[in-house]
């Protein structure tokens, strides 16, 4: 009889491992989008900031941007690790964040007039992966993982 845990880890359903893998892919895609936007896809963030504030200020601002991104992505991974450990609150947080990402993407609130069509697709990839990561968290075997997780008592 298939229990869904397989080789996914000690007591973890394969759906949880799938959500974890999709979250890792979303984080990697977010880093890729930031690097491409800052340094590769014209007009690059570096070029625009240099034209606006000068080379030194542009490098400083991109450094700050990278630092903030690192903190946000680290927080995202922390919450995802808590979800993987069976914490229901983390599943809820990831669900809300994915919904907000999609609302910005679908609602056009995140558009910035990007020219190449391929870049718009790449730019949307982290949002799509974050939303896709939510789906396996709510499948029946995954729900059981959250309800059977040990609870802390005060």
Tell me 114's DSSP state.
Answer: -
> CA torsion sign, 104 to 105 to 106 to 112?
positive
pTM for the whole thing? Answer: 0.83
Q: Is 25 exposed, middle or buried (0-12, 13-18, 19+ CB in 10 A)?
A: middle
Residue 150 to residue 31: CA distance in whole angstroms: 33
Instruction: Report the pLDDT averaged over residues 45-60.
Output: 84
Residue 15 exposure: Cα atoms within 13 Å on the Cβ side: 17
Q: What is the pLDDT of residue 73?
A: 97
pLDDT value at position 97? 93
Q: Are 149 and 88 in contact (CB under 8 A)?
A: yes
Residue 110 predicted with pLDDT over 90: no
pLDDT of residue 120: 84
Query: What tens digit of pLDDT does each residue of 70-97 get?
Result: 999 999 999 999 999 999 999 999 999 9
User: What mean pLDDT do residues 46-73 have?
Assistant: 89
């Amino acid at each position: 009889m298939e229990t869904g845990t397989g080789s996914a880890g000690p007591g973890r359903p394969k759906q949880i491992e799938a959500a974890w893998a999709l979250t890792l892919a979303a984080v990697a895609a977010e880093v890729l989008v930031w690097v491409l936007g800052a340094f590769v896809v014209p007009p690059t963030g570096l070029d625009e900031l240099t034209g606006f504030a000068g080379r030194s200020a542009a490098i400083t601002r991109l450094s700050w941007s990278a630092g903030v991104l690192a903190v946000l992505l680290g927080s995202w991974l922390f919450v995802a690790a808590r979800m993987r450990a069976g914490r229901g609150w983390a599943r809820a947080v990831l669900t809300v964040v994915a919904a907000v990402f999609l609302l910005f993407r679908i609602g056009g609130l995140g558009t910035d007039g990007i020219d190449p069509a391929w870049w718009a697709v790449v730019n949307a990839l982290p949002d799509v992966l974050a939303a896709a990561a939510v789906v396996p968290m709510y499948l029946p075997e995954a729900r059981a993982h959250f309800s059977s997780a040990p609870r802390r008592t005060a």
